[in-house]
Structure 1
Amino acid sequence: MPIDISGFSFLRAAIVLPALAWLISAAAVWLSIRYAHARRLIDQPGQRRSHTIPTPRGGGIGIVIAVLLCFCLPMLFSSQQSSRIFGCSVAIALVMVATIGWIDDHRPLSARFRIVVHFLAALVLLILPLLFMPKTAPAGGFDFDMTLALIAACLIAILATLIVWSINLHNFMDGINGLLACQAIFVFVALALACVSAGRTAVAWQLFVLAAATLGFLPFNFPRARIFMGDVGSGALGLLIAIALWLAAGSAHLAPFTGVIACSAFVTDATCTLLSRMLRGRRWYSAHREHLYQWMARTGMSHARVVACYMAWNICVVAPLVLWVNRPPSMSHGYANATDNLGVAALRDVEILQQLNDPGQIEAVIVYALAIALWIFGKRWCLHKMKSSQHRHATA
């Protein structure tokens, strides 16, 4: 859905809003540290945790406040009704997810109750724009089609499930210093740059606002954690990343699989870990330390090194593929021009291949195949290293 920021000049959208989001986020995180110490919201080290010293939690509230003020509020003052409705739906869904996370940071809630609230937030995000969308009646009057209604309901259910999975996926991946914040910043910036190349500057600068809000939290959590994001921040970022993918997918001249490729690191780790636990009969919804990043930390790698490994994947593999699938049309037609001397049949084959590959689905399959292979290799390497380390200690 396009976002209108006509109430702001381009300079304000490009510079002032991201800078303001960063400042608000950083100030709110600083205040949340004092609040956490006063209320004793402290994460203690434990067997299923990756930190070794008591650390306050709940710093993600700074990201939520900055997004509400610098992402949602400008849309509420937009001249376009669709933008106002979308901004309202984002704000309500974000407040719902952040509130349930904030409560859970203070006193643990059941996983089932959190999931229900996440689904309700996803439904608000999806259905509210449809309810207030301007309706145009057909010339012959309104004709209710049960088939179309069922298809729409199924589509909404699928999208809501994906949004809920994004919320919980990013909550699962928030286990070491800086990992989730760095991943979120990369996804927001990658999608924003892709939108700029596609001429969608309004959407791009809104994504830069999300990146700036997350960046305001990062210095307090990486490389040394003065505060953890908490469920209030990890759930909110999972929702915001799902919204960012939605905005990117709805942008013209942007490959539909851009967002899927950009999120490959976290999607692969969380999904493979979940499937592995389910296949082994484990309680997949309970706390654990079986994600690849957690195994890497357990081998003795510092949090900074683990984050560097994930960012290396993003920069060396994901970023080039995002640029490739969104390359200018002139580059896409280079292959066809090179086959002019091969005849009409060869040219037709090349054009068919281009049409199949334009949205980037082939690249998405390749990047996820590589990510799964790397996840399996990394898991085996971690297990081998830990066994070797235990053997050396036993024989020492």
Structure 2
Amino acid sequence: MATDVPRLALLILPLLSLLCSGLVVRGAIGYAHRRGMLDQPGQRRSHIAPTPRGGGIGIILAALVFLPVCLRLLPAPLPSAETLALCIGLALVAGTGWWDDHRPLPVLPRLAIQSLAVLILGMAMVADGLPILWLPLLLAAGVGSTNLHNFMDGIDGLLAQQALFVFAGAALLAMGVQAWALAGASLVMLAACLGFWLFNRPPARIFMGDVGSGALGFFVFALAALLWRERTALAWPLATLSASFITDAGLTLAVRIWRGRRWYSAHREHLYQWLVRKGATHRQVGIGYAMWNLAVCAPLAALAWCESGKGWWPCIAAYALTAAAWARLKRRCLRRVPTGDRHVNA
């Protein structure tokens, strides 16, 4: 009978999360119109019509309602201090994004609050036995993930579908080590993202906004950190699942810094943005990223899981292949764009 409890909860809680997220996102569309929260088309935008933003609030509210239930009541529960720290961190990052969706915030206050959110979770993990020397690495990874996912939220459906892929993989990995609470949390977030994606798939009826993109990045980091603490070898398959996003964001940032551009300013130089600029639709680009995830990242993540102590080499292979594909497609895009347009976002 006890084994039926997690199975039932792993079904019911995600369904409730899906319903909650979808209802809130539907309400957020009307709210955004009333408050004038519309993203207007422009030179650094990839859409062609004014579109409401802030739909990620549906993901966050569903998460804050159902994550504590999963993390505390399912087998292999998270300590109460870590559960509280995770929810506080998620609320801080989401709240900052919600404010920014209404009225733009300067970069430094955003980074300060993101750092505080990561430190709160990191200190809770330290209190539970993690060596404090890991704290600087957690801080860098957490703030980096938060902003990386924000940067990659630029076309219809892309970030939401990536979250579906990563959370599905994380749920399977958590089940593999019988971390049922973290598996339930992964499925709850997957369902919440699905509830949003139904309104964000091309052509999008609402955008995620900073309230969702930054918070998703924070939670991806938090989930990876907690699973890594559960079993160190899980770091490799978890990192492999995010290869397409980390490579696109990382190489784009490196190129902008190398060329002396204002790397922190808004731009349209990620690969997914270049593909749209050369004529691909948002749907086609999303399908391309999804196919890469399923054909390359998923099998190599599975191999990294099976290799256990040697999971590093499938992970490196995933990033090498993704980097090669990124460079090839970027060169192809640049060859088809007039020279004067290549530096428009500098």
Tell me whether the two structures share a fold, i.e. TM-score over 0.5.
Answer: yes
> Are 1:195 and 2:174 an aligned pair?
yes
Contact 1:72 1:90 in 2 (8 A): no
After superposition, give the CA deviation of every residue in 1:168-212 in whole Å (9 maximum; x if it has no partner). Answer: 000000000000000011001012123333443442222111111
The match for 2:148 among 157, 169, 175 is 169
The match for 1:89 among 58, 68, 85 is 85
> Are 1:278 and 2:257 an aligned pair?
yes
Give the letter aligned to residue 102 of structure 2.
H
The match for 1:27 among 23, 29, 50 is 23
CA distance in 1, matches of 2:269, 2:133: 33
Q: Which residue of 1 aligns with 2:52?
A: 56
% identity of equivalent residues: 42
SS at match of 2:104: coil
Q: Which residue of 1 aligns with 2:326?
A: 375
The two structures have a TM-score, normalised by structure 2, of 0.92
The match for 2:337 among 369, 386, 389 is 386
CA distance in 2, matches of 1:231, 1:265: 21
Q: Which residue of 1 aligns with 2:311?
A: 360
CA distance in 2, matches of 1:91, 1:203: 14
Q: Which residue of 2 aligns with 1:125?
A: 121
After superposition, give the CA deviation of every residue in 1:334-358 in whole Å (9 maximum; x if it has no partner). Answer: xxxxxxxxxxxxxxxxxxxxxxx73
> Are 1:263 and 2:232 an aligned pair?
no
Contact 1:98 1:235 in 2 (8 A): yes
Please report the RMSD computed on the Cα atoms of aligned residues, expressed in angstroms: 2.3
Give the letter aligned to residue 13 of structure 1.
A
SS at match of 1:257: helix
Give the letter aligned to residue 269 of structure 2.
E
CA distance in 2, matches of 1:254, 1:192: 15
Give the letter aligned to residue 370 of structure 1.
L
Contact 1:73 1:87 in 2 (8 A): no
Give the letter aligned to residue 333 of structure 2.
C
CA distance in 1, matches of 2:222, 2:292: 23
After superposition, give the CA deviation of every residue in 1:305-324 in whole Å (9 maximum; x if it has no partner). Answer: 00111111100001111222
CA distance in 2, matches of 1:253, 1:292: 32
Q: Which residue of 2 aligns with 1:340?
A: none
Question: 1:253: Cα distance to partner?
Answer: 8.6
CA distance in 2, matches of 1:76, 1:255: 22
Q: Which residue of 2 aligns with 1:185?
A: 164
Number of aligned residue pairs: 338
The structure with more radius of gyration: 1
Question: 1:274: Cα distance to partner?
Answer: 0.4
SS at match of 2:206: coil
CA distance in 2, matches of 1:81, 1:371: 36
Q: Which residue of 2 aligns with 1:336?
A: none
The answer for unaligned runs of 5 or more in structure 1 is 1-5, 135-150, 333-356, 391-396
After superposition, give the CA deviation of every residue in 1:56-86 in whole Å (9 maximum; x if it has no partner). Answer: 0000000000011111244356798852211
CA distance in 1, matches of 2:194, 2:78: 29
The two structures have a TM-score, normalised by structure 1, of 0.80
Question: 1:360: Cα distance to partner?
Answer: 0.8
Give the letter aligned to residue 119 of structure 2.
L
Give the letter aligned to residue 309 of structure 1.
G
> Are 1:65 and 2:61 an aligned pair?
yes
